[in-house]
Amino acid sequence: MPHEQIYTNAKIVTADDVFTGTVVVRDGLISEISEGKSQLSAAQDLNGDYLMPGFIELHTDNLEKYMNPRPGVDWPSDSAVLAHDAQIIGSGITTVFDALSIGDVNPKGNRMMQLPRMVDAIGKANQGGHTRADHRLHLRCEVSHEKTLEVFESLVDHELVKLVSLMDHTPGQRQFVKYEKYREYYQGKYHLSDAEMENFIVRQRINAEKYSVEYRRKIAGICQEKNLSMASHDDATHEHVTESAGFGMQIAEFPTTHEAATLSHQLGMKVLMGAPNIVRGGSHSGNIAAADLAGHGVLDILSSDYYPASLLQAVKKLSELENGYDLPKAVATISLLPARAANLSDRGEIRLGLRADLVHVAQAGSQFVVRQVWREGNRVF
């Protein structure tokens, strides 16, 4: 007999509707969807709460918090991965692309030294069945760093690498057009003196002139050859966007202007913005607000970035704004659209035949909370 679960009396959020009904899961796949309440004794009553598809996170550096819980503290990587995974699944995220940075812009940082350990720990935990979410790797390539191309070439054939983004955090452009914002962010984050900050800025600009153009072109070419999904990062101008489109990028991460977001959308790239931007009401860098892009109909995907629980809270807030994003469309920004952008055709919505990656969501006061999570029909939270 096939393994079967029945979830009933739930507000089922499909790609284009919300209705009270029942979902039947057999052998990890969605086998039946119907309106109304099941009378079968085996059915689990969700008490009128929401049943949503499992969330898909394309860009989170949350793992780094567990690798370095305090300044100067390096936590064992295997333990860090499992702690990160617990927070991810508890936020309703059933598929996560762990974003690992190649090329450290922190003058006091050790990201490059930690990178091999993080890759190994994620791969070992995933392969051993110890993670509750489905983990993939997203390589974030800082094209202005001298070691980026070399390290990228050493990692690109790892079986979990499924997404690559090209970044350039050189001061005076893209995310940090305003120098005062660049100083505020990096000097505050890395506790640099004024002299250290000035030297840091000079070094970043010199490295960008040496490496950025060549590394962007070479890494994009390798991704095209290997048919890897690609994302731009912090595009700000028409020229940035047309270059990204020319490289065949499917995702536009965090465009910083209306112009860049609108053109990216028009050229077929899915515009990804931070869920914390929605929750907080704006960008911490002083760039375009994600809610403004939603109001213009050019917001496609939300990412939790540095705060996993922000996905669900952003969905609620987005669905309550007067911007054309009802609940199904808001939920699609964290499920269906990221699945399509990452070429995942077996998940991302509640539809017959897809994986039973599901999230039981209740309303608690003014916010949504995750009550239960299933991955391929197995209860994981």
Instruction: Please count the residues of the chain.
Output: 381
Say whether 55-346 and 1-53+349-381 share the same fold.
no
Angle between helix 179-190 and helix 194-226 axes, rounded to 10 deg = 100
Q: What is the pLDDT of residues 263-310, one digit of tens each?
A: 999 999 999 999 999 999 877 656 788 999 999 999 999 999 999 999
SS3 of residue 152 by DSSP: helix
Q: For 92-108, how does the pLDDT look when each residue is reduced to its tens digit (9 = 90+)?
A: 999 999 999 998 655 55
Query: In degrees, to the nearest 5, what angle opens at C-alpha 158 toward C-alphas 150 and 104?
Result: 40
Domain residue ranges in the chain: 1-53+349-381, 55-346
312: nearest Cα among 107, 137, 57, 122: 57
CATH class of this structure's domain 55-346: alpha beta
1 band by pLDDT with thresholds 50, 70 and 90: very low
pTM of the model: 0.89
Radius of gyration in angstroms for the set of CA atoms belonging to the chain, rounded to a whole number: 21
Mean pLDDT of 38-60: 96
Residue 25 banded pLDDT, cuts 50, 70, 90: very high
Taking the mean position of all CA atoms in its chain, how far away is CA 71? 25
- The CATH number, out of the four listed (1.10.10.1590, 2.130.10.30, 2.40.160.100, 2.30.40.10), of the domain defined by the range 1-53+349-381: 2.30.40.10
